[in-house]
Amino acid sequence: MKLFVSTHPFSSTSAEPMRLLKYNEFDVSLNPFEHKISTQELAKVIGDAEVLIAGTEKITEEVFKNAPNLKLISRVGIGLDGIDFDLCKKYNVRVAYTPDAPSLAVAELCVGMIIDLARKVTFTDKNIKNGIWQRHMGTLLYGKTIGIFGMGRIGKSLVHLLSPFNVNFLVHDINPDIALGRLHKIKYATKTEVLKYSDVISVNLPLKHDTQDYITKRELELMQSHAILINTARGGIINEADLYNALKNNVIAGAAVDVFEEEPYKGNLIELDNVLLTCHMGASTIDSRTDMEVQAVEEAIRFKNGEPFKNEVFDNA
């Protein structure tokens, strides 16, 4: 069975994903461009593959038209915004993904970003390297109110990691987990309440039609002036132009952004000292990357053997 791997890099943190593919006698082709593949590049090279092990690239009709034998997209990771499910139904292509593997890594990055911004770690490091020795007054995380938009796998992991700091949780979620709420004394709140009363807000939502520009100028102006905002979810959920203006004019104290509307990011947020920028690396740990790739390969193996998927998904509504 022919299989194309579009995600890059692949099997670099462990030889196990490639070993599994070879052991199960897949005819494997790898992304030849050695960078995140574009839609146009993918359409040119996918050929007659029956299985696509995909990254975050957009999979459009151009790709489907150039992949007449495609039957499965096995997504390395959790985000599904790059996949058009209407087209998958039209071309009879099934979709699987690996939602569990990256969750803890993304949540840990959130925690690191919160502490970094609260204590001005990166800003001070930059000053010292520029010959400036100046202590900056930060703020404790202990006892603060943490607002979370989206209590999925990553949001729940974040709650578990932050609970020892004796923080209060304000959560806005369309399907509240009442049992988890009781265990961690979570208060489920409206979107406005989370914005108004949180010291830190973490965005952990998928990018869908109703979360595009979920946070704009209006929402940022509802936040407290000392608050910080974390986005490790998807670019487009927070309006980048509005965030830039809010940070520049001290509407909020700081932000950390791991994901952008266009990547690599070259926008004007790079001008500001009160924003921490990383390059879509939430799941970039050796452990998580290996797990994601292995789990994506295991779904391909199940497909080849006619077995049920572990994590099949049917839409991204």
Which of 259, 216, 251, 253 lies closest to 234 in space, CA to CA?
259
Amino acid at 217: K
Calpha distance 132→124 (Å, rounded): 8
Catalytic site residue from 75, 94, 172, 280: 280
What distance in Å separates the CA atoms of residue 138 and residue 274, rounded to the nearest whole number? 12
Main-chain dihedrals φ then ψ at residue 167, nearest 5 degrees: -90, 165
**Cα–Cα distance between 212 and 261 in angstroms, integer?**
10
In the annotation, is 19 catalytic?
Answer: no
Q: What is the dihedral of CA 175, 180, 184, 185, to 10 degrees?
A: 50
Report how far residue 161's alpha carbon sits from residue 114's, in angstroms, rounded to the nearest whole number: 12
Contact 147, 195 (CB under 8 A): yes
State the catalytic residue, choosing from 75, 172, 234, 289. 234
Q: Is 234 one of the catalytic residues? A: yes
307: annotated active-site residue: no
Out of 19, 136, 262, 263, the active site residue is: 263
Q: Which residues are identified as catalytic?
A: 234, 263, 280
